[in-house]
Amino acid sequence: MAELLQTTALSKTFGGLAAVSGVDLSVTEGEIHCLIGPNGAGKSTLFKLIIGTYPPTAGHIKFRGENVTEERPYQRVKRGMSIKMQTPSVFKELPVRQNLHIALQHHVTKAELAREEERLLTLLDLAADAAKPAGVLSHGQQQWLEIGMALALKPKLMLMDEPTAGMSPEETFRTGELIQQLNGLGMTILVVEHDMAFVRQIAQRVTVLHFGKVFARGSIKEILADERVAEIYLGKTHEHL
């Protein structure tokens, strides 16, 4: 199995704080990989290093066999990465449909554009709101829209930072189904999630981050059975896992 993404000794410090330190992470083509860890563990920072919004303090990032450490985010996106950030970032004053249009326009032919827009709107259950400015959608819907925009790029590797935050249990479950469906179509997915039920629903492999370092890795079963992992989630221990 080929490695799609590989980080080597990846580190990021903010002032004196090592938000990410010496992380070796590899994501295999075709898997759903979950990244978990307590608040402040460095998960979002790691994502930003992978997509390129932050330059790393040290280390390398390889994507599809190429060293992309020095590349700008748009270049990595063109290589096949796509991200849904932790805080929803959609074009708030633009209509929902135009949000999708902007995501689609550079790689979909004119003839297919309208069809793709419709397909995504239906998939995201936003067809009724297509003409509304994205800013008036509920938090959960904005998350969906952003996921839709990220998907519109037809990425090889999809990064999702807490895709279910602010969603109802029902929406969360549907998101899980969507992720599995996309994975079935061959998309590799790396997900940050707090909701362990959700992680159980989708994960194939799990990496646990703690204080910026890789704390444990393994299958979802192994991670759930790991006492140490339960401990670092102290306060929301066993009943949560």
Ligand X SMILES: Nc1ncnc2c1ncn2[C@@H]1O[C@H](COP(=O)(O)OP(=O)(O)OP(=O)(O)O)[C@@H](O)[C@H]1O
Contact residues toward Mg ion (CB under 5 A) are 43-44, 86
Judged by beta carbon distances under 5 to 8 A according to partner kind, the member of other proteins, ligand X, Mg ion, none in contact with residue 37 is ligand X
For the chain, the 3-state helix, strand and coil shares in percent, each to the nearest 5, are 40, 25, 35
**Count of chain residues binding other proteins (CB under 8 A):** 32
Among 35-43, 104-112, 188-196, 231-239, which window interacts with other proteins (CB under 8 A)?
104-112
Confirm or reject binding of residue 95 to other proteins (CB under 8 A).
yes
Task: Tell which one of 131, 227, 238, 239 touches other proteins (CB under 8 A).
Answer: 131
CA-atom Rg of the chain in angstroms: 18
The residue assigned the tokens 């709101």 is 129
Residues whose CB falls within 8 Å of the CB of residue 132, separated by 6 or more in sequence, listed in order: 95, 96
Per DSSP bridges, beta strands 205-210 and 32-36 are: parallel
Q: Would you state the structure tokens that stand for residue 139, as one six-digit string?
A: 């938090």
Confirm or reject binding of residue 173 to other proteins (CB under 8 A).
no
Q: How far is the CB of 54 from other proteins (least distance, A)?
A: 12
Residues whose CB falls within 8 Å of the CB of residue 76, separated by 6 or more in sequence, listed in order: 51, 52, 63, 68
Confirm or reject binding of residue 90 to other proteins (CB under 8 A).
yes
Question: Residue 13 and residue 130: Cα distance in Å, rounded?
Answer: 41
Confirm or reject binding of residue 94 to other proteins (CB under 8 A).
yes
Up-side HSE of residue 191: CA atoms within 13 Å toward CB?
Answer: 32
Q: Give the residues lining the site for ligand X (CB under 6 A).
A: 14, 17, 19, 37, 39-45, 86
Question: Residue 230 and residue 67: Cα distance in Å, rounded?
Answer: 35
Q: How far is the CB of 116 from other proteins (least distance, A)?
A: 11
Nearer to ligand X, 41 or 120 (CB): 41
Confirm or reject binding of residue 92 to other proteins (CB under 8 A).
yes
Q: Give contact residues for other proteins (rule: CB under 8 A).
A: 51, 53, 72-74, 77-78, 82-83, 85, 89-95, 97-98, 101-103, 105-107, 110, 113, 130-131, 149-150, 153
